[in-house]
Structure 1
C-alpha cells in the first residue's frame, strides 16, 4: 500500500526574496523593473521588522521597539543600522539608505536556498554581468498562487501575503505580478487589500509608510529617467 503523496514543503522566503523572485526572468535570470523592485525589496525589510515587532512608525519616523537580533543577516543588519542612529529617520530615507544592501541580501538568500543560480557573462566581450536563472520554481509558483487566490479570486489574505500585495501596489509592480490579467481590476483589488484591516495597527502603519515612500521614490526615478533619456 502506497502512502499518500504530499507536495514538497515550500522553501521559506522573505518578502524581499519573494519580490526578487517575481522580477527575475526564469530562463535568462535577467531582472525586470529593477528601478521599482529594488526600493520595494528595501521597503520589505522595514515590513519584516514590523511583523517581528522590532520597529514602529509614528509620524513617518521609524523607531526601534526591540533591537533583539532575529537570526537573519539582512534583518539583523537593518535593525542594527536603525537602532544605531541618534535621531529616528523617515521611512523614505531608510528605504533609500538600505536598498543596495537589501537587494544584495535578497539575491544571496535565493542562491543559498537553491532557488536561483548565479551566472556570470561577458557582454560585448567587455563587461561582466551577473544573471540569476531559476533553479527551483516551486517557491515562485507558490507565491504566485497565493497572489492569484487573494487578488484575482477574492480569498482573505494572510498577513504576509497582504504585506506583499501592498509592497507590489506601492511600487506600481502590478504587471510584474499579473502580466496577463486585467490591469484595472488588478490595481483596484490590490488597492483594497493594501488598505484593508488585515493586521495589527503597528504593522499597518509601517506598510502604509512604506507604500507612500515607494510611490514617491518610483515617481522620482521615473521623472529622472525621462529627463536623462530626453
Structure 2
C-alpha cells in the first residue's frame, strides 16, 4: 500500500512517495470486477476518471494547480508549478505532457492525459501480481483481454476504507475522499459498493463528501474538470450518432 509522508513545511509541495501505489491504480481496481476481469463502466468515463485521478495526484504533489481568481493565469486554467521528477514514471510522463499545456482548461486535457493510461495501469498491476492478464480471442478471431484479481489484499483495504466512509459515516482522508468524488462524478458508487441496502443513502453520502471541504479547492476542481470532460464527450458522441443516423 502506498504511504505518503508530509514534509515539515506543509506549504511547500508537501508530498513524497514512500511506496508506489497510485490513486489511479486504486480507482482502476475498484472499477474492474475481481472475477470477470471486466470494467463496471465504460469509456469515456472510466478513462477520463483515471486521468482525473492522475491530475489530482499531481495536484497533491504540488506539481500542478488550477488557477483561482485574481491570479496571473486565467481563473480555471492549468498552472504547472514544478516539473521535477516525482519518482514514478507514469506520473512523470503525464507531468511532462502537462508542462507544455499550461494555461489550458483542464477538461480539455483529459483526452490527452487518458491516452494509453488504462493499459499502462493494468500492465503495472499485472506485473506486480495484483491482477492477472487473461488474454483470449472471441471466435478465434477478435482479441479480448480480461483482468481478474490475482491478489486482492490491497483492493480489500481500499474497499474497507471506502465502505467505512460511505456506509458508516466515518471522516475520509484526502485519498479516500478523492476516490469517492471520482466515483460519484461517474455515477457508479452503487456499482462499486454493491452490498448497500439503501442505494439512495449511499449516493447521498457520496455526493455530500464530494461537495464538502475535503481537500483544497484545486483538487475538488480537478474532479469537476474530469466530470465536465466526460459530459462533453458523451454529448459529442450522441450528437455524432444522431447526425450519422439522419
Could you tell me the TM-score, scaled by structure 1's length? Answer: 0.85
Q: Which has the higher helix share?
A: 1
The gaps in structure 2 that reach 5 residues or longer are 4-18, 68-74
Range with bigger deviation, 136-145 or 104-113: 104-113
Aligned ranges for residues 93-132 of structure 1 at < 5 Å? Answer: 93-132=108-147
Range with bigger deviation, 197-206 or 160-169: 197-206
Cα RMSD, aligned residues only: 2.6
Provide the residue aligned with 1:167 in structure 2.
Answer: 182
Q: Secondary structure at the match of 2:115?
A: helix
The question of whether the paired residues in 2 share the 8 Å contact of 1:118 and 1:131 is answered with yes
2: CA distance, partners of 1:121 / 1:170: 32
Provide the residue aligned with 2:36 in structure 1.
Answer: 28
The gaps in structure 1 that reach 5 residues or longer are 1-7
The question of whether the paired residues in 2 share the 8 Å contact of 1:170 and 1:212 is answered with no
2: CA distance, partners of 1:194 / 1:170: 8
Verify: 1:207 aligned to 2:226, yes or no: no
Cα shift at 1:204: 3.1
Verify: 1:176 aligned to 2:191, yes or no: yes
Cα shift at 1:72: 1.2
Provide the residue aligned with 1:5 in structure 2.
Answer: none
Provide the residue aligned with 1:53 in structure 2.
Answer: 62
2: CA distance, partners of 1:67 / 1:97: 18
Partner of residue 150 from structure 1, selected from 165, 182, 188: 165
2: CA distance, partners of 1:114 / 1:14: 15
Provide the residue aligned with 1:43 in structure 2.
Answer: 52
Q: Secondary structure at the match of 2:83?
A: coil
2: CA distance, partners of 1:177 / 1:107: 18
Provide the residue aligned with 1:133 in structure 2.
Answer: 148
Range with bigger deviation, 155-164 or 34-43: 34-43
Q: Secondary structure at the match of 1:202?
A: helix
2: CA distance, partners of 1:134 / 1:121: 17
Q: Secondary structure at the match of 1:120?
A: strand
Offset from partner CA, 1:162-221 (integer Å, 9 cap, x none): 11111111111212222232221112111111121122333333334334444444x437
1: CA distance, partners of 2:200 / 2:228: 20
Verify: 1:69 aligned to 2:85, yes or no: yes
Cα shift at 1:44: 0.7
Cα shift at 1:38: 1.6
Aligned ranges for residues 182-197 of structure 1 at < 5 Å? Answer: 182-197=198-213
C-alpha distance 163-214 of structure 1, shift in aligned 2 (>3 A): farther
Q: Secondary structure at the match of 2:114?
A: helix
Q: Secondary structure at the match of 1:28?
A: coil
Verify: 1:16 aligned to 2:16, yes or no: no
The structure, 1 or 2, with the larger RCO (C-alpha pairs under 8 Å, 6+ apart) is 1
Cα shift at 1:61: 1.2
